[in-house]
Structure 1
């Protein structure tokens, strides 16, 4: 069953809840769709990104609509300036709300955020890259990571697990992880320079015992290949010690489902951004 369950109230933002994590927990986690916002074309309509030349006041209005739909205050929204790297930033209570309404205030140069601070809503932005979610129900800590091909090759998933272990005492075998909607191999073709970076990682994972799905990388006769970043990140999570049964995997492809999501590749870069989110300590358990 698809772990990200779509809910949209009348005229409200399109939200995909990671509902299995939220049942019985004061926790919220999920992914935004493209509908139910206020942006005009080509960002129509629920654009969450301040960096794509959309009107900034409209983007903030979209973000406020999402947080209100979640039952959280807008002041809790906390995000970073993403650079397709693998740096993990530990979000303190004093950093709550950074980046919510202006880019200049965002946490600098971080593609993964972790926190154990209740009332802090972590968020990151996407338009095909892979959203990664982490939850430690034992030590009460959460994390998000943004994994494009560069972040995947740099193993940002592993770095996030290691940071949560070092900072919060998390044990990888006790972590819950999820991989959200993103582009899949059916829509993601890359060239030689990218292949040359991905192949050594696949070799390392296979030599470490990974049972890689056949569609992790499918080469063609023209020196190009289709890559499944979801599967590669899943294997990195397993190598980092997360149990395979504790990893939720979305089956939705942003390239195939431009009716639901923005896709940088399918829309030639002229499009909006979705947001992943996760936070503890507000609202009622999910139902």
Structure 2
């Protein structure tokens, strides 16, 4: 029988290899039946095993474990994955031992896979893609207790809180399986040294850097209004990154606890943007969206959240995200200052763009007539609707901002509202670039909802949407 040990207020089940071998298919009626109802995916971590660790006893135990799982008939039966590293693969008459193992249970229900790659990160990331394809977010990982701190670091980097991950101990013989033997109580085997954590983070970083770009090359849009000899700027599109989930593919630049793209993927996309655009990733700052009109004046105390940034520091890149909301860039070539704003419909009503303009005037002595403003890709009046009560507020700014005003959800033009408010604040009409540009080769204010191959869109894609950005910096 499997035994339990006490760990704090939790009971942890230890699964022994000899238990697997002795009981075989009886696992169905004991431990594995619980797995099928508790988890949607079960990962058995064999990445600690090396070539000389693999033997017939271990192979037989795995086969019997998988056969027992294959007999599950519940609709909640889990997807089971054996994860191992390349070092474990051995050649026998031109065939992999693991492939033979795989063939032995292919006749079951097709819920089992062996994923074998160069190292733990590439193996686990390949499995993550399989789980995302199947829309699985509840995961149980069975692994030796000594591996748990390492695996927690890997999963914290590669997964977000969308996933529910729990761990279960797999007891193996340390001497035979290249695991460090420890006499410490299992309750103490939960920490990871700073050096080991950094090693894993560097391994993940190098792995992501090696991945090919998806959906074409990285493409940036630039405005002819902002002078290139003074400012570096651009608006990203959705091609050229490594995000593989459909609504985030491929150049997503925002990570959220509600989405499946982990921060490490977004960081790699940002690194590629920095290399292509020519700015320093270490001095990149994006707004912390609050859908309001707060502005961070760089160099002063940073607000907890803000939808605008202004700076006159050279070599510092500031950015605003957008996925229907407008990423707005500001440049003063005379005083050499710049700004960025995230202008959603709420921020537009609160005047976030003029708040940035006013901050540039008060902090850097800018003349409002010198400030250039470019509205980036955003949802157009063709695709954006608001409830009547909210649409009325735009109607008061300018009746032309609302179409089908009498309907319960009129179409609203947040771009036009932004222009009207900027002009009312003193910005010259010719110094504002928006969708009024007639030349399609010069227009950067494209509709995000209408262009699925170029841009992300919350309106079009729903809650699991990706994000593009507008960025600007003052050249040194």
Q: Normalising TM by the smaller chain, what interval?
A: 0.7 to 0.9
Q: Distance in 2 between matches of 1:247 and 1:49?
A: 27
SS across alignment from 1:190: coil
Corresponding residue number in structure 1 for 2:371: 175
Q: Distance in 2 between matches of 1:21 and 1:196?
A: 34
Q: Distance in 2 between matches of 1:221 and 1:137?
A: 44
Task: Find out whether 1:241 has 2:426 as its counterpart.
Answer: yes
Corresponding residue number in structure 1 for 2:329: 133
Corresponding residue number in structure 2 for 1:279: 473
Q: Per residue, is there more helix in 1 or in 2?
A: 2
Task: Find out whether 1:226 has 2:385 as its counterpart.
Answer: no
Q: Distance in 1 between matches of 2:473 and 2:303?
A: 17
SS across alignment from 1:173: helix
Q: Distance in 1 between matches of 2:313 and 2:224?
A: 21
Task: Find out whether 1:166 has 2:362 as its counterpart.
Answer: yes
SS across alignment from 2:353: helix
TM-score, length of structure 2 as denominator length: 0.50
Is the Cα contact below 8 Å between 2:218 and 2:240 reproduced in 1?
yes
Corresponding residue number in structure 2 for 1:191: 387
Whichever of the two has the greater Rg, that structure is: 2
Is the Cα contact below 8 Å between 1:118 and 1:281 reproduced in 2?
yes
Is the Cα contact below 8 Å between 1:82 and 1:108 reproduced in 2?
no
Structure 2: runs of 5 or more not aligned: 1-212, 435-443
Q: Distance in 2 between matches of 1:32 and 1:89?
A: 22
Is the Cα contact below 8 Å between 2:232 and 2:473 reproduced in 1?
yes
Considering only aligned residues, what root-mean-square deviation do their CA atoms show, in Å?
Answer: 2.1
SS across alignment from 1:21: coil
Q: CA deviation at 1:220?
A: 4.6
Corresponding residue number in structure 2 for 1:100: none
Task: Find out whether 1:123 has 2:319 as its counterpart.
Answer: yes
Corresponding residue number in structure 2 for 1:39: 243
Corresponding residue number in structure 2 for 1:63: 270
Q: Distance in 1 between matches of 2:240 and 2:449?
A: 20
The CA deviation string for residues 162-210 of structure 1, in whole angstroms up to 9 with x for no partner, is: 11110011111111111111101100011123224333333xxxxxxxx
Is the Cα contact below 8 Å between 1:35 and 1:46 reproduced in 2?
yes
Task: Find out whether 1:259 has 2:453 as its counterpart.
Answer: yes
Corresponding residue number in structure 1 for 2:155: none
Q: CA deviation at 1:28?
A: 1.0
Q: Distance in 2 between matches of 1:240 and 1:221?
A: 29
Corresponding residue number in structure 2 for 1:72: 279
Q: Distance in 1 between matches of 2:238 and 2:460?
A: 14
Q: CA deviation at 1:269?
A: 2.2
Q: CA deviation at 1:107?
A: 6.0
SS across alignment from 2:321: strand
Matches within 5 A, 1:23-34: 23=228, 25-34=229-238
Q: CA deviation at 1:47?
A: 0.2
State the number of aligned residues: 251
Q: Distance in 1 between matches of 2:445 and 2:337?
A: 26
Q: Distance in 1 between matches of 2:230 and 2:356?
A: 22
Q: Distance in 2 between matches of 1:26 and 1:157?
A: 22
Is the Cα contact below 8 Å between 2:287 and 2:342 reproduced in 1?
no
Q: Distance in 1 between matches of 2:406 and 2:397?
A: 21
Higher RCO (Cα < 8 Å, 6 or more apart)? 1
SS across alignment from 2:472: strand
Q: CA deviation at 1:91?
A: 1.0
Corresponding residue number in structure 2 for 1:89: 296
Q: Distance in 1 between matches of 2:271 and 2:281?
A: 6
Is the Cα contact below 8 Å between 1:43 and 1:271 reproduced in 2?
yes
1:115–1:56 Cα change, 3 Å: same
The CA deviation string for residues 45-69 of structure 1, in whole angstroms up to 9 with x for no partner, is: 0000022521110100000000110
Structure 1: runs of 5 or more not aligned: 1-7, 96-105, 203-211, 283-287
Is the Cα contact below 8 Å between 1:37 and 1:47 reproduced in 2?
yes
1:31–1:143 Cα change, 3 Å: same
